[in-house]
Amino acid sequence: MLSNQAGEGKRASLHGHWSSKMAFILAVTGSAVGLGNIWKFPYIAGQNGGGAFVLVYLVCTVVIGMPVMMSEILIGRRGRRNPVATMELLGKEEGSSGHWRWVGVLGVIGGSLILSYYSVIAGWTLGYVVKSASGVFVGASVEAVGAEFKNFVGDWRIIGFCHTLFMALTVFVVTRGVERGLEQAVRFMVPALLVLMLVLLGYSMNSGYFGQGLSFMFSIPESCMTLAPECPLTWDSVLAALGQAFFTLSIGMGAIMAYGAYLPEDTSITGASAAVVTADTGIAILAGLAIFPLVFANGLDPADGPGLVFQTLPLAFGQMAGGVFFSTIFFVLLSFAAWTSAIGLMEPAVAWVVEHFNKTRAQASLLIGGLIWFIGFGSVLSFNVLADTTFLAGTLFDNVDYLTSSIILPLGGLLITVFAGWVMCRNSTADELGSAGTLYKAWRVLVRFIAPIGILFILINAIT
């Protein structure tokens, strides 16, 4: 069925627009590039065997992640509303049902839950800015750096304060809107982070262990090539790779759909998506190449878990000339990267409250920010007071991480592909993607068949 939007003319966003294509690319890249690339990707790869995991991650990103991202952007731009209202509006326009709004609800909930623990980890980066500037890591041993991290996360008052400060910074930007808040925040932060990552990579290449790190990142064990039982890549690893692809690209959580609602009509969705996926994946790979050689050079375990970047990098900076300066700047920029991602995670819920309850952006930001801040204290306590309280997937932090990365994001992505590929008519999607040629046909095949089948297979494995 033809969408009746064409007959009505293009609808306008209620929240303004990005000033340019580059502003949109930087904003979405800022939302995608953050702790997921620099904090989470290296330790997830380390826990799942390195090269085999990286290969699966790249395949998931290109074959599944990018088509879903394109779908989210085109749906967002088509609807020009918050994710909940957009899915309801387009569901009716395409002759289906307004019940598709629950896909938007799922994204809003998923993004808010992710931000609840993301803010806690981002708060660590703020704390490490202070630690780095004070010179506490200069000449420190592996044991001293590890003890510093353990003492830091072991004090719920300190990391609770950092979590509070980070959420306050996020609320501040979101209240300012699209151009004055979101856009201004990413113009400097994203390029600056990339430059510093390249500087860190240069240092890592001279560590004497770059070859070992390179091998760990890209060598696939023979046991995996022959599908032998001792292959470190398991179905859980594949699930982790898919979840990581969704997590780092910020898809399935409403953020990309919300940002798509502010995208000008003359911007190519395919080109913008390709630019974002390339930048996001490139920074994740750069992070691994920068971190793993330093892990091996200092006798650390690449499967150390969430604390990897907070122990490996301070140790490396502590041994290099100008380490205090570089360490401080690195954690400042890491905080910035986390900040831009947090803004994207919070935007869908805020846009929904503004539109649905007729609240100002300031009121909506304070309400949503306060709720996420409160939920986040469960993750704060998971590293200290409640560290021994485990159930299902582990601590409260582990359970929220598993629920969002392994269930909510893939489920949201699955439903988005079904909606874009099967509910929306060809004319509607071709109108937004701007082409009926080879690229459009490839997207349509991926979004209708390959992506949903892959996501469904992994999702079933996660819940059984």
pLDDT, tens digit, 9 for 90 and up, residues 401-411:
889 988 898 89
Q: Which of 76, 272, 79, 34 is nearest to 170 (CA)?
A: 34
pLDDT computed for residue 201 by the predictor? 87
- Cβ atoms of 295 and 308 closer than 8 Å: yes
Strand partners, 391: 394
How far CA 203 is from CA of 112, 198, 300, 317, in Å, comes to 37, 9, 18, 10
Report d(CA 380, CA 371) in Å as an integer.
15
Label residue 179 by pLDDT band (50, 70, 90).
Answer: low
How far CA 310 is from CA of 49, 217, 281, 301, 368, in Å, comes to 21, 20, 21, 13, 29
pLDDT: is 377 or 297 the higher one?
A: 377
Cβ contacts of 94 within 8 Å, gap of 6 or more: 1, 3, 423, 424, 425, 428
Report yes or no on whether pTM surpasses 0.85: yes
How far CA 207 is from CA of 45, 136, 267, 316, 328, in Å, comes to 20, 22, 43, 9, 20
pLDDT computed for residue 158 by the predictor? 97
pLDDT tops 90 at residue 417: yes
The mean pLDDT of 210-230, rounded to a whole number, is 84
pLDDT computed for residue 365 by the predictor? 96
Lowest model confidence (mean pLDDT) among 98-112, 202-216, 241-255: 241-255
The mean pLDDT of 353-376, rounded to a whole number, is 96
299: left (phi over 0), alpha (psi -120 to 50) or beta: left
Label residue 1 by pLDDT band (50, 70, 90).
Answer: very low
The mean pLDDT of 182-201, rounded to a whole number, is 76
pLDDT: is 25 or 119 the higher one?
A: 119
Percentage of the residues of the chain whose pLDDT score is greater than 90? 47
Looking at the structure, give the CATH architecture of the domain made up of residues 22-463. Up-down Bundle (1.20)
Report d(CA 89, CA 64) in Å as an integer.
25
pLDDT computed for residue 185 by the predictor? 66
Q: Which of 461, 444, 350 is nearest to 407 (CA)?
A: 461
The mean pLDDT of 141-166, rounded to a whole number, is 95
Report d(CA 221, CA 56) in Å as an integer.
13
Quick count: other Cβ atoms within 10 Å of Cβ 265? 10
pLDDT: is 130 or 183 the higher one?
A: 130
How far CA 44 is from CA of 56, 96, 385, in Å, comes to 12, 39, 25
Report d(CA 133, CA 148) in Å as an integer.
15
The tokens describing 344, both together, are 């994207």
The mean pLDDT of 77-83, rounded to a whole number, is 94
Report d(CA 45, CA 292) in Å as an integer.
10
> Residue ranges per domain, the chain?
22-463
Phi, psi of 228 (to 5 degrees): -70, 155
Strand partners, 394: 391
